[in-house]
Structure 1
Amino acid sequence: LNLIKNSLRELANSVDIKNSIFETVVSIVSGYVSQKFIVNSKSSTMKKILGVLMQFGVTSFVSKKSEEVGNFLSNFINRLFTPAEVEE
């Protein structure tokens, strides 16, 4: 029982696993959001198929370029929440 607890603690504290989970979540969410830009509940069948293909493509792209996407998002968030310097 202690062996299982210790193994689970090690997994929970592993930076690699946390990064992997984060990258997976970001790629899935970005694909889902991109699909929702195209497809709504009243969309035609063809539009729904295109939405699914776009979701797959965006998810695949983001998962392959996860480091670049992560850097872009962190820079974007930093610029968004950092007050602009006012020149006098």
Structure 2
Amino acid sequence: MEAIYTIDSLNQKIKLLEEQQDREWCDIKDEIDEIKENLKPLNLIRNTVQEVNEAVGFKSDLAQSAISIGIGYLAKKLVVGKTDSTFKNILGSILQLAVTTLVAKPADHHEPSEKELYEEESFEG
């Protein structure tokens, strides 16, 4: 660590350390946001499906669609179970369709992170 002999150099060093602290804090917040996003049930299912596809070697959309349909069917059976009620069967089918659609959808949405927003502000101002 270099010695600081003047108030100007001290103020400059303080400013640099504060900027570094801000960047590191933004990195921590981004990591927490990413962890929270990955722990959402839908994303856990998507990640599991993706890992199964990679492990087994499914590359085709047909195989991925079949897995999505299977997960939708399991969701219907877990929630509705075996019933003679027409209303419950309809609700179960709607649930199955929703889960199948959500699992099959790619999770490529990208929201700017705090770090990216901070860097944009730094360039502008």
Calculate the TM-score normalised by the size of structure 2.
0.35
TM-score by length of structure 1 reads 0.48
- Structure with bigger gyration radius: 2
* Higher-RCO chain (CA-CA 8 Å, sequence separation at least 6): 2
